């Protein structure tokens, strides 16, 4: 099904961000495993898998619209400690929420409700990722870092 190039461009921008998010989360997940923080490792690895599904759905949608999937990797923010891993993830997730809302608005403008629906489905996951990051930051503040880290091994 043909669409206009601007929709494809927007989907490819989201695809580049998702592929980069997979890389960043995978690196952070393995750092956490290496440090012995198994619970955090599992949570971050699950995020990497969610982002991989988003990338897959975006590629499927681009191909369905007769576009070419392209990836221009986005700069990765690799952290060196746990509070920064959480913080960098949260910053990127808040950015993702904003970007998916922009693509939803654009798809609506272009009368492309199929794209809008897919973007809304992904947006829902990103909002949950934001919520998870905010919860970790709250726990670190309330419990203190040491106690929080003790709950994550």
Question: Whole-number minimum distance, CB 111 to Fe ion, in Å?
Answer: 25
Among 59, 129, 136, 148, binds Fe ion (CB under 5 A): 129
Closer of 124 and 147 to Fe ion (Cβ): 124
Q: How many residues of this chain bind Fe ion (CB under 5 A)?
A: 6
- String of b and e for 17-51 (b: at least 16 CB within 10 Å)? bbbbbbebbbbbbebbeeeebeebbebbbebbebb
| Nearest to Fe ion of 102, 144 (CB atom) | 102
Q: Which one among 14, 28, 41, 54 touches Fe ion, defined by CB under 5 A?
A: 54
Task: Report the distance separating Cα 99 and Cα 13, nearest Å.
Answer: 9
Under rule CB under 5 A, residue 28 binds Fe ion = no
Q: Whose Cβ is closer to Fe ion: residue 36's or residue 56's?
A: 56
- Considering the rule CB under 5 A, would residue 61 count as an interface residue with Fe ion? no
Q: Which is nearer to Fe ion, 2 or 26 (CB)?
A: 26
Site for Fe ion in 91-110 (CB under 5 A): 93
Q: With H, G, I as helix, E, B as strand and everything else as coil, classify residue 34.
A: helix
DSSP assignments along 58-124, one per residue? HHHHHHHTT------PPPP---SSHHHHHHHHHHHHHHHHHHHHHHHHHHHHTT-HHHHHHHHHHHH
Binding site for Fe ion (CB under 5 A): 18, 51, 54, 93, 126, 129
């Amino acid at each position: 099904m043909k669409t206009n190039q601007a929709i494809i461009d927007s989907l490819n921008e989201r695809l580049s961000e998702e592929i980069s998010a997979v890389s960043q989360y995978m690196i952070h997940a393995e750092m956490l495993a290496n440090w012995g923080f198994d619970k955090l490792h599992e949570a971050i690895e699950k995020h990497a898998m969610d982002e991989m599904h988003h990338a897959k759905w975006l590629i499927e949608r681009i191909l369905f619209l007769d576009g070419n999937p392209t990836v221009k990797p986005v700069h990765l923010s690799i952290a060196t400690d746990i509070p920064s891993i959480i913080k960098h993830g949260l910053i990127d997730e808040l950015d993702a929420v904003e970007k998916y809302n922009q693509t939803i608005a654009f798809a609506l403008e272009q009368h492309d409700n199929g794209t809008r629906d897919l973007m809304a489905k992904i947006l829902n996951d990103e909002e949950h990722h934001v919520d998870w990051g905010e919860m970790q930051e709250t726990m670190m503040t309330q419990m203190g870092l040491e106690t929080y880290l003790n709950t994550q091994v």
